[in-house]
Amino acid sequence: MAARRPTLVRRLALLVSLGLGAVWVVAVLAMALVLRREQDELYDQQLVISANTLLPILSRGVRADPHATEADADEGQNADPDEALVWRLIDRDARVLASSPAAGAAVFPDRAEPRRYARTATHVVYTTDYDGTGLAVQFADPLAERREAFRESFLAFLLPMLAILPLGYVLVRWITAKGLQPLDRVRAEVATRDSQSLAPMDAAAHPAEFSAIIATLNGFMARLSQALEGERAFASNAAHELRTPVAVALAQVQRMQRETDDDGQRTRLAAMEQALQRMSRRVTRLLQLARAEAGIGRGASRTDAGGLLPHILRDARGDGTRLRLALPDGPVLTPMDADALAIVVGNLIDNALQHGPAGTAVAVSLTSDRVLIVRNMGSAVAAGDLARLSDRFTSRRSGGFGLGLHIAHQIAQQAGGRLELLSPIPGQDEGFEARLHLP
C-alpha cells in the first residue's frame, strides 16, 4: 500500500507546532527556574521573620528556666526532619541552650554565622544576630518540604500547559487550512482548464501572493493554446489537402484495375488500392480528430439516436451483414449533435469490425435509458491495456490507427456523456464491449 503523502496544510501545521513547542519548552523551563527562585526567596523571608520573632521569646525563657534544654532535645530524637520546622538557641560559643523537639534529627552547620543562610543535608538554616545577652537563634526549614512544595506548584502549572500542545496543533492546523483555502481555489480553477478552455485566470480574484504564480500559469496556458491551435490547424489543413489527391489516386487505381488484363499488375494495383484506402481512412480520422478537438459535442436541438442509428450502420465500413441492430420501441432523444454522434458510433463500429474475428457478428443495441452498446467477440483485452485504449495512438493490434476510441471518448466527454470500455463482455469469458452513455 502506498504511503500517504503529507499535505501542505499538515506540513505547515507540523512545522509551526514544532516551533511553538520549542518556545513552549523554553517558557516552561524558564517558569520552573523563576518559580524555584521565588519560592526559595519566600521561604528564606519566612525563616528570617520566624527566627527574629523567636529570639527574644526564647532568650527570656532560657533565663527563666536554664535546665529546659536537655529535656527538649531528648524529646526530638525520633522526630521526622522532613516535616517539621526546627530551631536552636545558641550562645557565642555555639553551645545549644534550647531547641525544638525535632532539632536532634536535623543537620545544622558546624559554624554559626550571624545573619547568614546555610544549606545542610536536610535543612536550610538561618542564624540571627546575637542579642544583648549573647544569644542567637538558628531557624531551619526542611529541604524535603521545599522540594515537595516546588513539585506540587510546578505540576499544577505544567498539567494545564501540556493540554496546550494538542490544542495548539489543532488550532494551528485549522488556521493553516483556512489560510491556504485560496490555494485550493487556484487549484480548482486550474482543474477546470482543458484543451478546450484555456482562458487566462483573473489574478485580481486571488491574494497578491499568487499573482506571480497566476501570471506564469496564464503565460503557460497562452503558449499551450497557441500550440494546440497550430496543431489543430495543421491536422485539419493537412487532412483537407490530402483528401482530394488520395481520392483521385484511389479512383485512378480502381480504373487501372478494371482496364488491365495482366494478373501480376492487377495484384500490385490491388495492394496499392488497399494502401490508398487505408490512407483515406487515416485522413478521415485526422479530420474527425480536428473536429473533436475543436469542441464538437452538443447540438442546438435534440437528436433521436434511435432514428439515426440505421443510417450510421448503413454507411459503416466493411461487411454490413455482420451488424446486428436492436432498438427500443420509442425515440431516444439526446442533446448530442447528430454529426458528433455519427462520428462516435461509426468509430465504435469500425473498431468492433476490425478487431472482431472474421465472420462473427457485431451487436449494436440502444436502450431506452440512453445507453448505446457495441459488442464484438474475440479474445479478452488485459486490464492494463483496456485502461489505455482511449488514449491517442493506442491500438490493440496492427492495422489500427489508435485514434477511433480516442476520438469517441473525447467527443462523448465534450457532449456531457461517457464512454465505458469492458472486456471480457459481462457474463462471458471473451469479447469486447463499448458502452456510450448518452447525455
Least confident of 46-60, 158-172, 198-212, 288-302: 288-302
pLDDT-based confidence at residue 184 (cuts at 50, 70, 90):
confident
* Distance from the first to the final alpha carbon of the chain: 37
Specify the CATH number of the domain 193-294: 1.10.287
Q: Would you state the pLDDT for residue 2? A: 45
Q: Would you state the pLDDT for residue 82? A: 61
CA distance 32 to 43: 16
Mean per-residue pLDDT over the chain, rounded: 76
Beta bridge partners of 124: 119, 141
- Amino acid at residue number 439: P
* Phi and psi based region of residue 377 (left: phi greater than 0; alpha: psi -120 to 50; beta: remaining): beta
The model's pLDDT over 236-253, given as tens digits with 9 standing for 90+, comes to: 556 555 666 766 776 777
The model's pLDDT over 186-218, given as tens digits with 9 standing for 90+, comes to: 777 777 776 666 677 777 777 776 777 777 777
CA distance 27 to 162: 12
CA distance 184 to 192: 13
Q: What share of the chain is helix, strand, coil (3-state, %, to 5)?
A: 55, 15, 30
**Has residue 3 got a pLDDT over 60?**
no
What's the mean pLDDT in 370-389?
79
- Strand arrangement of the beta sheet that strand 86-91 belongs to: 96-99, 86-91, 135-142, 123-127, 116-119
The model's pLDDT over 55-82, given as tens digits with 9 standing for 90+, comes to: 888 888 776 665 554 444 444 445 555 6
Q: Would you state the pLDDT for residue 73? A: 44
User: Would you state the cell numbers that stand for residue 127, as one nine-digit string?
Assistant: 542564624
Beta bridge partners of 420: 435
**pTM, two decimal places:** 0.45
Using DSSP bridges, classify how beta strands 135-142 and 123-127 pair: parallel, antiparallel or unpaired. Answer: antiparallel
DSSP one-letter string for 371-425: EEEEEE-SSPPPHHHHTTTTSTT--SSTT--S-HHHHHHHHHHHTT-EEEEESS-
Least confident of 23-27, 129-133, 167-171: 167-171
CA distance 107 to 122: 6
Burial of 103 (0-12, 13-18, 19+ CB in 10 A): buried
Q: Which of 337, 338, 335 is nearest to 302 (CA)?
A: 335
The model's pLDDT over 90-127, given as tens digits with 9 standing for 90+, comes to: 888 888 888 888 888 888 888 888 999 998 888 899 99
**Has residue 10 got a pLDDT over 50?**
yes
Can 193-294 and 296-437 be said to share one CATH topology?
no
Which has more confidence, 352 or 227?
A: 352
Q: Would you state the pLDDT for residue 217? A: 79
Q: Are 317 and 350 in contact (CB under 8 A)?
A: yes
Which run of H or E residues covers position 363? strand 362-366
**Has residue 343 got a pLDDT over 80?**
no
CATH 3.30.565.10 fits 296-437, yes or no: yes
The model's pLDDT over 386-424, given as tens digits with 9 standing for 90+, comes to: 767 766 555 545 444 456 677 777 777 777 778 888 888
Q: CA torsion 5→6→9→11, rounded to 10°?
A: -160
CA distance 359 to 8: 58
What's the mean pLDDT in 49-56?
88
User: Looking up cell 538558628, which residue turns up?
Assistant: 138
Where are the chain's structural domains?
Answer: 8-169, 193-294, 296-437
